């Protein structure tokens, strides 16, 4: 099977490419710079040069593939609404290239807008700012074989540059590893290599479901995350008000913890990587 992967050099996408190549798939990845092209070529994958703005390039690459995995997203949070709209448009373009065939499309989203403990069957709140899943469901209504992989808010591992490193930088800057309220609200977590395996298994299962949960640690208390960061940095761990977290307060206060029981049973997925708190014991998370 030939799979086209967007975000192929990103934190999740590069792990997906590694997983697919290791399982014998032919992979073409989207890359936007010479440096990223070189990194992708080194994996043995083929390369399509372009960005999420190059809709003709995306359509052509998707048309030439047996399956598409969309992991790319512009994470500039200062213009999140615009980026979410761009993502919705990209998903529509990828889906249009696959419409009328049985070739599957897997798109990527998160857990924001879901209730704590939600299953794969629950639909996010319409107020959720990211529109990836809404776009995917619209494609399904048009007959496209499309599904969403919902990623835990912490897709962790050494080299992580996501939300937990953001909290580490904030703790360094302010001199305290903070949590909101009593810190009892929870995040889910998944090691990046375990997350990548969900995409491969979903393809092999035939993408018969509308949603898969790439979630290993289903509910990690935010206070426990703050305590691990405080220990790693040698800083006090204290409750703080929303202002302490700035623009990140909405995420820091959110319950983003769901069940992956159905995904595990359906795909035979058994996460094998370290859990989030175990990863945060590694000194590499605090280097630099």
Decide: 119 and 259 in contact? Cβ < 8 Å: yes
Q: Topology of 2-151+191-214 in CATH? A: Rossmann fold (3.40.50)
pLDDT for position 137: 96
pLDDT for position 226: 98
pLDDT for position 89: 96
Query: What DSSP designation does 29 have?
Result: E
Distance CA 104, CA 106 (A): 7
For 155-189+218-263+271-286, CATH number out of 3.10.20, 3.90.25, 1.10.8, 1.10.3210 equals 3.90.25
Domain parsing of the chain, residue ranges: 2-151+191-214, 155-189+218-263+271-286
- Whole-prediction pTM value? 0.96
pLDDT for position 81: 86
pLDDT for position 163: 94
Provide CB contacts within 8 A for 15, sequence distance 6+.
192, 193, 195, 196
| pLDDT tens series, the chain, 288 aa | 999 999 999 999 999 999 999 999 999 999 988 888 999 999 999 999 999 999 999 999 999 999 999 999 987 777 888 999 999 999 999 999 999 999 999 999 999 999 999 999 999 888 777 899 999 999 999 999 999 999 999 999 999 999 999 999 999 999 999 999 999 999 999 999 999 999 999 999 999 999 999 999 999 999 999 999 999 999 999 999 999 999 999 999 999 999 999 999 999 999 999 999 999 999 999 986
Q: Comparing C-alpha atoms, which of 56, 44, 52, 59 is closest to residue 14? A: 44
Tokens coding 112: 């924001």
E strands, 115-221, where? Answer: 146-151, 154-156, 177-180, 186-191, 211-214, 217-221
Question: Fold match between 2-151+191-214 and 155-189+218-263+271-286?
Answer: no
Tokens coding 83: 């980026």
Tokens coding 270: 């058994």
- For the beta sheet containing 46-49, the strands, ordered from the edge strand earlier in sequence to the opposite edge, are 46-49, 26-31, 2-6, 67-70, 105-109, 146-151, 211-214
Decide: 251 and 112 in contact? Cβ < 8 Å: yes
Helix (H, G, I), strand (E, B) or coil at 209: coil
pLDDT for position 37: 93
pLDDT for position 234: 97
Decide: 258 and 117 in contact? Cβ < 8 Å: yes
Distance CA 103, CA 10 (A): 24
Decide: 70 and 107 in contact? Cβ < 8 Å: yes
pLDDT for position 257: 97
Decide: 87 and 131 in contact? Cβ < 8 Å: yes
Burial of 123 (0-12, 13-18, 19+ CB in 10 A): middle
Provide CB contacts within 8 A for 99, sequence distance 6+.
139, 142, 143, 144
Residue 194 CA neighbour count, 13 Å, CB half: 27
């Amino acid at each position: 099977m030939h799979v086209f992967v967007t975000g192929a050099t990103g934190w999740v996408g590069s792990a997906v490419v590694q997983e697919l190549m290791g399982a014998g798939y032919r992979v073409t990845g989207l890359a936007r710079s010479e440096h990223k092209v070189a990194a992708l070529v080194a994996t043995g994958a083929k390369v399509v040069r372009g960005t999420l703005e190059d809709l003709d390039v995306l359509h052509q690459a998707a048309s030439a593939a047996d399956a598409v995995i969309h992991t790319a997203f512009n994470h500039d949070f200062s213009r999140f609404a615009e980026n979410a709209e761009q993502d919705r448009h990209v998903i529509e373009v990828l889906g249009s290239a696959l419409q009328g065939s049985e070739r599957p499309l897997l798109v990527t989203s998160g857990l924001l807008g879901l209730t704590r403990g939600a299953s794969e069957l629950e639909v996010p709140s319409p107020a959720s700012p990211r529109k990836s899943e809404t776009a995917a469901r619209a494609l399904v209504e048009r007959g496209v074989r499309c599904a969403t992989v919902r990623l835990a808010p912490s897709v962790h591992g050494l080299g992580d540059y996501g939300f937990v490193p953001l909290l580490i930088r904030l703790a360094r800057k302010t001199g305290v590893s903070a949590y909101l309220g009593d810190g009892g609200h929870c995040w889910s977590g998944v090691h990046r290599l375990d997350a990548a395996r969900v995409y491969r298994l979903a393809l092999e299962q035939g993408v018969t479901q509308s949603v898969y949960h790439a979630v290993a640690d289903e509910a990690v208390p935010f206070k426990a995350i703050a305590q691990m960061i405080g220990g790693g940095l040698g800083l006090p761990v204290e409750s703080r008000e929303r202002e302490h977290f700035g623009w990140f307060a909405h995420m820091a206060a959110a319950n983003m913890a769901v069940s992956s029981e159905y995904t595990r049973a359906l795909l035979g997925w058994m996460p094998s990587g370290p859990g989030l708190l175990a990863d945060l014991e590694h000194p590499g998370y605090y280097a630099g």
